[in-house]
A = this chain, B = another copy of it.
Amino acid sequence: MPKKSELLPGTLDMLILKTLTRAPMHGYGIAQSIKRISDDVLTVEEGSLYPALQRLLLQGWVKAEWKKTETNRRARYYTLTAEGSKQLGEELSQFEVMIAAIGRVLQDA
């Protein structure tokens, strides 16, 4: 039996971008936020999170800055850029279209 993913593949970037609309956040905090808000359904593993953040940085959808946390630890804070905001909008609307389409297929005719 294939192990099921902790995420719906293809949605991670969108989730991260969306989370950053709430506030600039460091990676660990993003993962925690997604886990908490989803009531522990969505778990972002570290091996998925950090590569994803690198991707988002490369594409200019987020920018990063090293800072100290409230508890005095070093962490890299990510902020959504204007391009990232635009990208998020596109991903959101595309996601809705997809979900609606899947809903039609899953519905009994």
| In the bound complex, CA of A50 to CA of B52 (Å) | 30
| In the bound complex, CA of A14 to CA of B8 (Å) | 13
Contact with B along A84-109 (1 / 0, CB 8 A): 00000000101101111110111001
Q: What's the dominant secondary structure at chain A's contact region?
A: helix
| In the bound complex, CA of A9 to CA of B11 (Å) | 9
In the complex where A5-B10, A8-B8, A9-B10 touch, is A38 in contact with B105 (Cβ < 8 A)? yes
Is the CB of A80 closer than 8 A to any CB of chain B?
no
Number of copies: 2
Residues of B with C-beta under 8 A to A5: 10
Contact with B along A27-65 (1 / 0, CB 8 A): 000000010011101100000000000000000000000
Is the CB of A22 closer than 8 A to any CB of chain B?
yes
In the complex where A8-B102, A102-B15 touch, is A37 in contact with B109 (Cβ < 8 A)? yes
Is the CB of A81 closer than 8 A to any CB of chain B?
no
Pick 7 A–B contacts, CB within 8 A, sort by A. A7-B98, A8-B8, A8-B9, A14-B106, A41-B97, A41-B101, A99-B99
